[in-house]
């Protein structure tokens, strides 16, 4: 591969991302502090949207047609702690899939700037 190898390619493209997303939601739903957010969620759809979102965010095809992240998370009261846990679970799922640590760092680096769109809990005031 050349220097132009995208993160998407390093993750194993669509199939690799699908495996990681399956494991990510297993970890999220297995966490009693995160599971309630997804109580009424259709997980099959959610995983499909997340996989398409991640493909686009890592330099792959731009097939994501869901809500923008502000709208998707607005009013849900998601905290910084929740966000950090989800990033941690994403890193765990990537690691279990055999993704290299440097690549995991890069994925986390691509996700961190999304915090402001996802964290919707009122700041302590
Ligand atoms: C970088 C981190 C995150 C990304 C990239 C992300 C991405 C997404 C995407 C793509 C959707 C689908 C929107 C749609 O269907 O139109 C979504 C929905 C959602 N996200 Fe996130 N998310 C992140 C973090 C979180 C966190 C930390 C929580 C809470 C623990 C959360 C809870 C939800 C919920 C509850 C929904 C709606 C599910 C439903 O339709 O029932 N997300 N997110």
User: For the chain, what's the residue count?
Assistant: 125
Establish whether residue 50 lines the binding site of ligand 1, counting it when its CB lies within 6 angstroms of any ligand atom.
yes
Establish whether residue 21 lines the binding site of ligand 1, counting it when its CB lies within 6 angstroms of any ligand atom.
no
- Is residue 97 within 8 Å of 16, Cβ to Cβ? yes
pLDDT score for 4 = 73
Q: How far apart are CA 107 and CA 58, in angstroms?
A: 7
Establish whether residue 120 lines the binding site of ligand 1, counting it when its CB lies within 6 angstroms of any ligand atom.
no
Helix (H) or strand (E) segment spanning residue 5: none
DSSP 81: H
Interacting residues of 75 by C-beta distance below 8 A, sequence separation 6+: 120
**Ligand 1 midpoint to CA 82 (Å):** 11
pLDDT score for 23 = 98
pLDDT score for 2 = 53
pLDDT exceeds cutoff 60 at 87: yes
**Ligand 1 midpoint to CA 74 (Å):** 10
Q: How far apart are CA 25 and CA 19, in angstroms?
A: 10
**Ligand 1 midpoint to CA 3 (Å):** 31
**Structure confidence by residue, pLDDT tens digits, 15-69:** 999 999 999 999 999 999 999 999 999 999 999 999 999 999 999 999 999 999 9
Establish whether residue 38 lines the binding site of ligand 1, counting it when its CB lies within 6 angstroms of any ligand atom.
yes
User: How confident is residue 124, by pLDDT bands cut at 50, 70 and 90?
Assistant: very low
pLDDT score for 123 = 59
| CA contacts within 13 A on the Cβ side of 16 | 17
The dihedral built from the CA positions of residue 32, 38, 43 and 49, taken in this order, carries a sign that is negative
**Ligand 1 midpoint to CA 103 (Å):** 22
Which structure tokens are listed for 67? 């809500």
Q: What's the rounded mean pLDDT across residues 65-80?
A: 96
pLDDT exceeds cutoff 80 at 9: yes
Q: What is the DSSP string of 60-109?
A: S-----S--HHHHHTTS---HHHHHHHHHHHHHHHHHTT--HHHHHHHHH
The CATH H-level superfamily of 9-118 is: Globins (1.10.490.10)
């Amino acid at each position: 591969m050349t220097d132009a190898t995208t993160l998407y390619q390093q993750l194993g493209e669509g199939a690799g991302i699908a495996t990681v997303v399956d494991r990510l939601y297993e970890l999220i739903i297995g966490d009693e502090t995160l599971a309630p957010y997804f109580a009424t969620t259709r997980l099959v759809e959610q995983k499909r949207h997340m996989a398409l979102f991640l493909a686009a965010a890592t330099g792959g095809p731009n097939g994501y047609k869901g809500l923008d992240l502000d709208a998707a998370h607005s009013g849900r009261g998601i905290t910084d702690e929740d966000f950090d846990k989800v990033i941690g679970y994403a890193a765990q799922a990537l690691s279990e899939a055999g993704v290299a640590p440097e690549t995991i760092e890069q994925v986390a680096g691509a996700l961190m700037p999304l915090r402001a769109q996802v964290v919707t809990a009122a700041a302590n005031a």
